Amino acid sequence: MRRLLMSTMVMVAGMVVAAGAQDAGRTTPASRADARSQQQVREARYQIGQMERLLEGAVEHGATAMRDRLQAVMPADMLLAENARARGFRLDGYGIFFDVEVPDLGGTLAWSLRTLDQNDLGLDAALQTLRQAAGNDLNLQQALKRVELQVSPMTASMPAQPGGAAAVQASGSAPAPPAAAGRSVAGDPVLANPDEAYRIEISEALIDAMLEHSRGLSIGADERLTVAARRSDDRPRLGIDTDARTVVLSVRGSDLAAFLGGHLSPQDARGRVEVRVF
């Protein structure tokens, strides 16, 4: 009797194990669809992450181009105050949206350069203005010291301008400094409006990234790829937002597909990108 009972128990256990193995090896259509969905989500997140890094690199490229233009009119090394940051999101029924934070290029210093193309009297006045603007901001103070160290040797070796300040007052403008060897800055409007020049450099670099590297995002023909870029120092303080400006770049998925498929020239594709400033 005992042997019969033990044998029956072994048979039942074997049947349970076999049934469990069959259930484990069987996949239902619903489970396969769920696995595919999870894989698609992971791939979408990966592609958005890749685009985030590309947009950050585009900002750094635009900042480098701006720095080169600034260095052509002033021997100071302007650096990004911090790293660029980009965050992407897929919005159902819309497409993909990226928020890009553009760091300041050397703080207040870069945007006061319009006064630094004067004679050394004007330069001293400009530096004094920057010292006052820096206040207790340690980052600005350090950046200002760096500029002073680079500019001081140049001003010390500058020959006296004929007429000095009196000539400036009489003519209304400072005598033009000699052109740097191998560099020409004629016609460069960077000093007239450095804010706008920086905004254009960054926008152009972001548009290039949007057009050239968006294939992996799989944006539908009726969807959009949008990038909103804003400078870090434009963020509102104390809840007051009066002068902050955000550049919004947007392109339709159908235009992206036409460009990536070779049916739209780069120039025409850039013309399809909508640019708005808020």
DSSP H helical segments within the chain, as ranges?
2-25, 29-71, 108-111, 120-134, 138-156, 164-171, 194-212, 253-260, 266-272
**Interval 117-125 mean pLDDT:** 52
**Taking a C-beta distance cutoff of 8 angstroms, is the pair 228, 247 a contact?**
yes
State pLDDT tens for residues 140-149.
Answer: 777 777 777 6
**Interval 101-122 mean pLDDT:** 55
Q: Which two tokens stand for residue 218?
A: 């799989």
User: Which amino acid appears at position 194 of this protein?
Assistant: P
Enumerate residues 6+ apart whose C-beta is below 8 A from 55: 84, 86, 98, 100, 206, 209, 227
**Interval 87-113 mean pLDDT:** 79
Residue 76: per-residue pLDDT:
54
What is the C-alpha separation between 179 and 191, in angstroms, rounded?
A: 15
Tell whether the model's pLDDT for residue 56 goes beyond 70.
Answer: yes
pLDDT: is 258 or 130 the higher one? 258
Tell whether the model's pLDDT for residue 90 goes beyond 70.
Answer: yes
Residue 188: per-residue pLDDT:
60
What is the C-alpha separation between 56 and 203, in angstroms, rounded?
A: 12
φ, ψ (nearest 5 deg) of residue 167: -65, -35
State pLDDT tens for residues 173-185.
Answer: 444 444 443 444 4
User: Which amino acid appears at position 199 of this protein?
Assistant: R
**Cβ of 136: how many Cβ atoms within 10 Å?**
6
Pick the closest to residue 243 from 201, 277, 197 (CA basis): 277
**Interval 110-118 mean pLDDT:** 47
φ, ψ (nearest 5 deg) of residue 270: -65, -35
What is the C-alpha separation between 25 and 49, in angstroms, rounded?
A: 35
Phi-psi region of 19 (alpha: psi -120 to 50; beta: other; left: phi over 0): alpha
Hey, where are the domains in the chain?
A: 43-174+190-277
